[in-house]
Amino acid sequence: AQSVTQLGSHVSVSEGALVLLRCNYSSSVPPYLFWYVQYPNQGLQLLLKYTSAATLVKGINGFEAEFKKSETSFHLTKPSAHMSDAAEYFCAVSDLQGAQKLVFGQGTRLTINP
Amino acid sequence: KAGVTQTPRYLIKTRGQQVTLSCSPISGHRSVSWYQQTPGQGLQFLFEYFSETQRNKGNFPGRFSGRQFSNSRSEMNVSTLELGDSALYLCASSLETGYGYTFGSGTRLTVV
């Protein structure tokens, strides 16, 4: 069975500092990996996805993530945090085969300090 | 291009009642999935439909059901509501595997 672990339910950084949100996955087949962001009272917005092409994936709003098979990780980074980045971030995995089913991590709430 | 539309946005129901939630996917998207989001359990997969066929189902009781119409619009139904069914229900649509889901804003269901 697939699973996702997000290390740290809350992360706080200063405006302008590096953002690093950690995600480790477990999958018996080559995975598709996703990062989503959720602002209060809204749905999920796709930041980026890995689908077995380039291991360094660039997404929207300056975010990027690197797929490391040996570490089963897919950490999300942004060089310089903005106040508007404050939100909850979810890592998700799905398998290549069969129907689409996303398995989500528990989420990381990102706080940006001025 | 219109996004995924979920109606209604907010709903209050009484225990024992039933409820139907609606989702209109992005035009051309044939896959529609439903997720339940609660503070305690996080985001959990309910079911996925593709071209009117349920392809995958999560670990929820039979009180939770869904369907998809020929125009790809989908509904989910919860019968005999329980307090624990209070949650944000999210619908998502996709072209096909690997494209990633586009989520709607959700329907917040409160059971009293």
Using a CB-CB cut-off of 8 Å, the residues of chain A touching B100 are 34, 46, 49
Of the pLDDT bands very low, low, confident and very high (cuts 50, 70, 90), residue A30 is confident
Best A100, A103, A109 member to test B by mutation, with max B CBs in 10 Å, is A100
| Residue-wise pLDDT tens digits, B22-41 | 999 999 999 999 999 999 99
Amino acid at B54: Q
- Note the pLDDT of residue A31: 82
Q: Phi and psi dihedrals of A85, rounded to 5?
A: -80, -10
Assess whether pLDDT exceeds 80 at residue A34. Answer: yes
Using a CB-CB cut-off of 8 Å, the residues of chain B touching A104 are 35, 42-44
- Note the pLDDT of residue A99: 53
Best A6, A10, A42, A44 member to test B by mutation, with max B CBs in 10 Å, is A44
* Per-residue 3-state assignment (H helix, E strand, C coil) for A61-107: HHCEEEEECCCCEEEEEECCCCHHHCEEEEEEEEECCCCCCCEECCC
How many beta-carbon contacts under 8 Å exist across A and B?
Answer: 66
- Per DSSP, the three-state class of B40 is coil
- Note the pLDDT of residue B55: 87
Q: Please name every residue paired with A97 in a beta bridge, in sequence order, or none if there are none.
A: none
Assess whether pLDDT exceeds 70 at residue A114. Answer: yes
Taking 70 as the pLDDT cut, the residues of chain B under it are 1, 97-99
Measured at the CA of B108, the angle between CA A11 and CA B71, to 5 degrees, comes to 110
Which residue of chain B is at minimal alpha-carbon distance from A53? Answer: B98
Judged by CB atoms closer than 8 Å, whether chains meet at B97 and A96 is answered as: yes
d(CA B106, CA A39): 12
Lowest-pLDDT range, A20-29, A79-88, A101-110? A20-29
Taking Cα atoms as reference points, which of A34, A37, A22, A35 lies closest to residue A84? A37
- Note the pLDDT of residue A90: 97
Taking Cα atoms as reference points, which of A81, A51, A80, A56 lies closest to residue A66? A56
Q: Which residue has the higher pLDDT, A3 or B8?
A: B8
- Note the pLDDT of residue A14: 97
CB B60 within 8 A of CB B73: no
Closest Cβ opposite residue B103 in set A43, A103, A105: A43
**Burial of residue A72, with CB atoms counted within 10 A of its CB: 0-12 exposed, 13-18 middle, 19 or more buried:** middle
When pLDDT is averaged across residues A61-87 and rounded to a whole number, the result is: 95
When pLDDT is averaged across residues A67-92 and rounded to a whole number, the result is: 96
- B12 at interface of A, judged by CB pairs closer than 8 A: no
Assess whether pLDDT exceeds 60 at residue A62. Answer: yes
- Per DSSP, the three-state class of A36 is strand
CA distance B12 to chain A (A): 16
When pLDDT is averaged across residues A44-69 and rounded to a whole number, the result is: 91
- Note the pLDDT of residue B98: 60
When pLDDT is averaged across residues A79-107 and rounded to a whole number, the result is: 87
Using a CB-CB cut-off of 8 Å, the residues of chain B touching A105 are 42
Q: Which residue has the higher pLDDT, A5 or A101?
A: A5
Determine how many CB atoms are found less than 10 A away from the CB of residue B8: 11
- Note the pLDDT of residue A96: 58
Judged by CB atoms closer than 8 Å, whether chains meet at B4 and A43 is answered as: yes
Structure tokens at A105: 């991590």
Assess whether pLDDT exceeds 80 at residue A98. Answer: no
Burial letters A27-53, b for 16+ CB under 10 A, else e: beeebbbbbbbbeeeebbebbbbbbee
